[in-house]
Every structure is written in C-alpha cells, then in structure tokens.
Structure 1
C-alpha cells in the first residue's frame, strides 16, 4: 500500500484497533512458533501489504514514518506498563561515528513512529492478542533535547573506543541495548581492537511505559525542566542546580524555605521535599515526567559523622522460584541495575548530631560491576537454591546459608518482611522470612564519597 499523507496512513492504521493478530494474519506466520518479530511482520505483510525488510530508511519512506508494533501489560495493581523496551535500529559502530544527530541512522529511521499497541496477556495464545490503540508519535521538544544528549553520549563512547563498555544505564531515554542471542553477537568497533556486543538504539522500557499510560490510560505527567533548560544542561546538572541552595540545611529548614509543612518522621518526607524544590509541589515522584521516563528512583542516605551510611540499602523482595527459572541475561536483578538510575539524596549528621542535607548523586551501577560482582552473587544464590537452603535456629532468629555481605563487597541478601512471620516458600518447600537484595553500606559510602562535606 502507498500512502500520500500521514492522515491517510493513520486512518488505515486505526482500522486495526480491536482486531486480533489471528484475524489479521494472511500468511500463517502465527504457525511458526517463537518466530522473532512475527507479530510485527504480520502487521507489515498482512495489514499494510509490504515485504518485511531491514532497510536503513523508515518503513513508509515517502512520509518518513517507521512502523513499530509494541506490547503492554496490566500489572497486579491494575496499572499498565510497557512489556519491554522498544528496540529500534542496529547501531553501525563504523558508520555512526561520522554523523551528527540530524544525519544519524537513529534520526533518519525514527524521527516519526507509527506505534501500534497490543495487550500482552500470559494466559492467552499470541494470535488472540488484540491491537488496542495506534498513534503517530513524534518526540516532544523536551524529550528530544534529552534524547539528543543520550545519542551524543552513546556515539562519543564509541568514538573513544569504548563501544564494548556501553550500558543502557549510561543514558536517560534513548538506550543502547544488546541485540543478539548471546555473547557471540560481537562486532568490530572503529577506535579499538576489542570486539563489542552488537547493540541497537532503543527507547527504554520506562519511557515506553509513560507512553502506554498516556495513550491508553490518559495519565498526565508533570515536567520540571523546560526544553530551553534542557538545551543548555543535562538532567543531572539541572537536578544538582535545584538541590544546591539547600545544602547544609536540616529537613525543617528546607521545608520552611520551600514554604511547605512536613513531618520529619513521615516516610514520604524526602519525596515531598524533592517535589517541592523541583517546582512541582505535591506531585508524586512517579508522576514527574523526567523521573518516570528515565526510570529514576530516589533513595535517601543518612550518613554518620564519619561519612559512613547508618545502614545498608534495600530494594525489592526476591522471588526465589524466578531466580531458578531465569537466565542471567533475562534475570530481574541484572535488568534492574541495567535499566534503573538511582538519585541518592544524602543527609549527614553534623558534630552536634543534627541531620543536614549534604547533596545528591545520580548514579547507575557500572556495567562491569553488574557483569562480575552481581552476576557472581546471583550465581551463588542459584547454587544454594539448587543444593538446598540450610536454615539454622540461633538466639537471634533463623539464619540461612545465602552468601553474606562480605561475599563481594557490593550486595547481599537479608530479611525484609513485616515481621518474622512474613514468609515465602522456597523451591524446596521450606518457608523463609521474605528476603531482599541490599546494597552494602560500605559500597554506598564509595558511591557518595565524592560529595563535598
């Protein structure tokens, strides 16, 4: 099919709403089990009537529009989320380093996206997945400023001979995700002899989740930074600029300057301070556009007078059955640290034992740490689960034989339940207090050590 205008294209695309892939499929692609990209191919061949291809230009080249078919899912709490990142075009390390953003393969291919959203449900056959909505998407001005900086970071890393050290955590909205079945998917890079994993540009899962919620659920987000600000400074620079005037203040002093009322004992006190000083008072941090799209999660750190954290830092509870079933590449913990940025909001007790704001640090775990220390810890947990978890009663409670905090100096597992009776069942049938990943206090101290006293 040939479309003379974007309006013609979108009218045709909207005809797919409410249809299942089974209804659309004319070439029996659904019979090929596990075929990569099969659902997208069905839309290309059976709905729009063009051959599947891997051209450098956009799918509807005369309009400069690229077609993407992408899934979303409903979470246990009834909210919607993108099921995965949106993988775009392969990064040609050899060619891309000679382009600027406007002549890049990313921009030529993905300036305008025809997004067709379908709902993924684990209990039904993929042929019964249904197209729910379709939109012609162009990047908002504020997003484009961040995406341009993301692209520059990725390409500058390739220019520095560091393509093998690229990580999705390096950037905010536009990622460089691995594209290949395994570590044999290696490619040459122009300024280093070291082979690098094949990667593709991608819109991060968190970015796609915000789109899903805006398009399907009609949710609204609040932007704290303007496009003009983002042209001049990075997101991290803007965050530091907003927080800096409050350095050295107590929480109450910060609240008074911001003209808000707080209860320092309230668990939401720091979140309330953050939204107020960012100029979006009362907004939940999940509804701040830059936080939601970049998957920035904040963590409060309280340092003792000697600069050491008062405690280790917890994350989500562990699903031990999931650990046994998942591969490392698809593991929860690997993808969590690959895709998540953490905004450390740091307070420190002064000589009079008064807690004062020290500063912030926007951080993501280095790729080497993920692939070495975190991988080793994850492997050791699997080994313990396979060999059998040993639970030993002690005077302090019940101990287990999962690796301790001294295993690699980065993270460990320990209980995080409402109480000793808040338990989950292990794969071997035993019951154990809910466990959680914790970053070691000493590791957190290293991360925030660059903050000035």
Structure 2
C-alpha cells in the first residue's frame, strides 16, 4: 500500500493520477486478483482504491484519511453519469442513542468531507475493463447539511421510540436507513415499542441516488444548485 498522504492536495493528485485507469491496471500494480464480479467481493473496489490512495483506516469507525478528515467513497455510475446505487455511509446505532445529536454524530463526521471517486458500473462491462473517473472533493452545502440533519433526526427519533421495525426505505428525503447485513441471521439489539430490548437486523445509513446525482451534477456539469 502507498504511504498515507500528508496533505489534501497530495491525496487529490493521487486520485487524478489513477483517473482513466482500468481496474486491471490498478490491480496489477497492487498485486491484487480481479474477481469475476462483485457479488462475493462487494468491498473489492474500495480496497483497490484505498491501496492506491494510501487510506489506512481500514474497517475502523473513523474517516479513511483520519489525519486529513476525509472519507473515501467510490460511486458506480452509468453510461450517462448517473449513480447506479445508493451510497453506504455507516452503521446506525440502535441502542444507547439518548442524548445523541447530529453535530456529534458519526454520520455527520463521515459526511463532512468526502473524496468521491466515480467508477464505471454498468454490468455488461467486465470488471477488469471498468475505468476510474475523475475525483471530486466535496463538503455539504448549508442546504445539503440541513437536509441530512433533518433525515437523521427523523430516523433517530423513530429508533429512540422503538419504531425501528417500522422504518422503510421510503423514510428520509436524501438519506435512508436500511438493513445492513449479508444475511438475515446477523442480529443486533434495538429498542422495541415497549421500551424493552429486541433483536433486529443491523441497520445502515445510505445516501439516496438523487442526492449523490445532484453532487455529481453540481461538480461535473455545473448545473444550477436547485436542480
């Protein structure tokens, strides 16, 4: 793995250096095997990018570049440049959440500064031939932060009230809460409606595709901010 970047500019330069490269080219340099697909290797693209960019956090609950305060997110895009899937932010706390605020939340910390790396995501393109796009360093605008905060507060209120099982993907304008587990057997503790602890599937915060599409459009297409 490459050494940890010391400055934001150094990190951004590394990201520009790999733009246009195929996964095959990047994997060869990192001596990593390219999987046939991502069904069993969902985190492979992220690991490949982490190797080239020098992210050291791994699976720790901190930003990928903790010293720089920057999180790394790859985003698979279609031929037309639209995000193909929602973006996982972090696992949601389901117990011990009384007194938590947006300002001190793990979600806000993760979303405060993101290095977005668009990657080709169309399924008919073989994984080895998919290319990495130009990077984007982003922080939420005041309006975007307000939207995120509003969704977070709505979702966390439902968790505190023991309504976690009633939360669906329809809740949240720009950020949703969804089960986060490879299968339904993995369970964690949460508050039930009676205030007692129940067992439920772990949940994660995800950014909706229309929100990430807006971020990409503002940067790459210079679209008006209200679009």
TM more than 0.5: yes
Flag the 1:145–1:31 CA change in 2: closer, same or farther, 3 A: closer
CA contact (8 A) 1:176 1:202 kept: yes
> Could you say what the CA RMSD is over the residues aligned between the two structures, in angstroms?
2.0
The whole-number CA distance in structure 2 between the counterparts of 1:95 and 1:153 is: 17
Aligned to 2:65: 60
Flag the 1:123–1:173 CA change in 2: closer, same or farther, 3 A: same
Whose RCO is larger (CA < 8 A, sep 6+)? 2
Aligned to 1:172: 173
Flag the 1:95–1:19 CA change in 2: closer, same or farther, 3 A: farther
Aligned to 2:132: 131
Aligned to 2:4: 2
Which of 208, 225, 235 does residue 212 from structure 2 map onto? 208
Give the C-alpha shift of residue 83 in structure 1. Answer: 0.5
SS of equivalent residue, structure 2 residue 177: strand
Long gaps (5+) in structure 1: 224-288, 290-453
CA contact (8 A) 1:97 1:155 kept: no
Residue correspondence of structure 1 range 39-78 to structure 2 within 5 A:
39-45=45-51, 47-50=52-55, 53-74=58-79
Q: Which is greater in Rg?
A: 1
Residue correspondence of structure 1 range 302-451 to structure 2 within 5 A:
none
Cα shift readout 1:307-346 (whole Å, capped 9, x = no counterpart):
xxxxxxxxxxxxxxxxxxxxxxxxxxxxxxxxxxxxxxxx
Long gaps (5+) in structure 2: none
Answering whether residue 31 of structure 2 is matched by residue 30 of structure 1, we say no
Aligned to 2:81: 80
The whole-number CA distance in structure 2 between the counterparts of 1:202 and 1:159 is: 19
Give the C-alpha shift of residue 93 in structure 1. Answer: 1.3
CA contact (8 A) 2:15 2:134 kept: no
CA contact (8 A) 1:168 1:177 kept: yes
CA contact (8 A) 2:176 2:205 kept: yes
SS of equivalent residue, structure 1 residue 81: coil
Is the strand fraction higher in 1 or 2? Answer: 1
Give the C-alpha shift of residue 219 in structure 1. Answer: 5.0
The whole-number CA distance in structure 2 between the counterparts of 1:143 and 1:8 is: 27
Flag the 1:68–1:29 CA change in 2: closer, same or farther, 3 A: farther
The whole-number CA distance in structure 2 between the counterparts of 1:199 and 1:99 is: 17
Give the C-alpha shift of residue 32 in structure 1. Answer: 6.8
The whole-number CA distance in structure 1 between the counterparts of 2:7 and 2:184 is: 42
Answering whether residue 149 of structure 2 is matched by residue 143 of structure 1, we say no
Paired residues, number: 218
Give the C-alpha shift of residue 13 in structure 1. Answer: 1.4
Q: How does the TM-score come out when normalised to structure 1?
A: 0.45
Give the C-alpha shift of residue 57 in structure 1. Answer: 1.0
The whole-number CA distance in structure 2 between the counterparts of 1:69 and 1:124 is: 17
The whole-number CA distance in structure 1 between the counterparts of 2:55 and 2:225 is: 39
The whole-number CA distance in structure 2 between the counterparts of 1:154 and 1:83 is: 24
Flag the 1:82–1:145 CA change in 2: closer, same or farther, 3 A: same
The whole-number CA distance in structure 1 between the counterparts of 2:97 and 2:71 is: 19
Cα shift readout 1:377-411 (whole Å, capped 9, x = no counterpart):
xxxxxxxxxxxxxxxxxxxxxxxxxxxxxxxxxxx
The whole-number CA distance in structure 2 between the counterparts of 1:192 and 1:134 is: 46
Give the C-alpha shift of residue 178 in structure 1. Answer: 1.9
CA contact (8 A) 1:97 1:158 kept: no
CA contact (8 A) 2:114 2:137 kept: yes
Cα shift readout 1:174-195 (whole Å, capped 9, x = no counterpart):
2112211333333211444333
SS of equivalent residue, structure 1 residue 82: coil
SS of equivalent residue, structure 1 residue 139: coil
Give the C-alpha shift of residue 89 in structure 1. Answer: 0.8
Q: How does the TM-score come out when normalised to structure 2?
A: 0.87
Aligned to 1:220: 223
